[in-house]
């Protein structure tokens, strides 16, 4: 098992991709702390993995939640080797023209508070422990960190910001701590929720026919599941494999950059608003 004896902290680990990462890490021999807002999701993981995991209910927008998660992790397992910042929200491809003016600022604040500030707060809280263990940090990006069309303007801007965060932290923390990112494409069986500000908090990405949308255009031929993405997180966390690896982002999106997502410009739709 490649992560035998290692200890990880995963944010947003209660469902979807985060849960798949937790499951795979435990299978590979790691012990895992999970910070998530869902008490039910955390309890399900405890029942599944027993003493190999510890759950912390909290809000990734708050530094104190991250501090508690790191403290509980160290209390339970004695150290922290790998931070996986993964919690996020989506905007369901909402274009700027469709965001009401009176909701735009609040929607921006919500998106960046979870998807960008939440990562920075996790890094701040975990830094002392990662320094002591000479560990690493992994941040979940998205194909939207590289290309348009994987989200709306808020999500895409936020994921581009995360790539900048990864590069800057790798610059600041080397040679003591390695910092990298993983950018998945569409994920089947995922529970990614939308912005509360835009009334999307109860909508999950599982409600979108991703296979129907992506299978015909992906060079790999099909959309991957959360479990199938989890192996990349194992590789990036494995000390023997990541010696030369920092400041990197693995674009693991099914080949979107080779094929492209759309054949026509979305700008053609503006006429319905202004013509």
- Point out the residues that are catalytic: 155
Specify the length of the chain in residues: 275
Please give the Cα distance from 196 to 31 (Å, whole number).
32
Nearest residue to 73 (alpha-carbon basis) of 22, 144, 1, 9: 9
Cα–Cα distance, 126 to 129 (Å, whole number): 6
Report helix, strand or coil for 240: coil
Residue linked to tokens 């990036």: 236
Strand 187-188 versus strand 224-225 pairing type: parallel
Q: In DSSP terms, which residues pair with 181 in a beta bridge?
A: 139, 249
Torsion angle of the four alpha carbons 180, 14, 114, 72, in this order, in degrees rounded to the nearest 10: -80
Residue 111 in contact with residue 155, Cβ under 8 Å?
yes
CA 178, CA 135: separation in Å to the nearest integer?
A: 7
Find where tokens 């030369």 sit. Answer: 244
d(CA 159, CA 72): 29
- All residues at 6 or more sequence positions from 227 whose CB lies less than 8 Å from its CB, including other chains: 20, 23, 24, 189
């Amino acid at each position: 098992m490649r992560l035998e004896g290692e200890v990880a902290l995963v944010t947003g680990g209660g469902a979807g991709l985060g849960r798949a990462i937790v499951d795979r890490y435990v299978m590979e021999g790691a012990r895992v702390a999970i910070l998530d807002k869902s008490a039910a999701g955390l309890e399900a993981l405890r029942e599944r993995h027993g003493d190999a995991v510890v759950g912390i209910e909290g809000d990734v927008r708050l530094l104190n939640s991250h501090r508690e998660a790191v403290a509980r992790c160290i209390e339970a397992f004695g150290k922290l080797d790998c931070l996986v910042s993964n919690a996020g929200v989506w905007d369901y491809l909402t274009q700027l023209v469709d965001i009401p003016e009176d909701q735009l600022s609040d929607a921006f604040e919500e998106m960046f508070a979870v998807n960008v500030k939440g990562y920075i707060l996790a890094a701040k809280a975990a830094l002392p422990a990662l320094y002591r263990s000479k560990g690493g940090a992994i941040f979940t990006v998205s194909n939207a960190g590289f290309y348009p069309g994987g989200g709306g303007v808020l999500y895409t801007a936020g994921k581009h910001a995360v790539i900048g965060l990864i590069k800057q932290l790798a610059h600041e923390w080397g040679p003591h701590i390695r910092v990298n990112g993983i950018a998945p494409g569409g994920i089947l069986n995922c529970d990614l929720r939308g912005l509360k500000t835009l009334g999307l908090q109860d909508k999950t990405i599982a409600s979108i026919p991703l296979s129907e949308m992506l299978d015909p255009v992906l060079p790999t031929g099909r959309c991957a599941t959360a479990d199938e993405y989890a192996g990349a997180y194992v590789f990036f966390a494995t000390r023997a494999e990541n010696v030369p690896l920092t400041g990197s982002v693995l674009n693991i999106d099914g080949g979107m950059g080779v094929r492209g997502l759309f054949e026509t410009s979305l700008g053609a739709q503006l006429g319905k608003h202004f013509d």
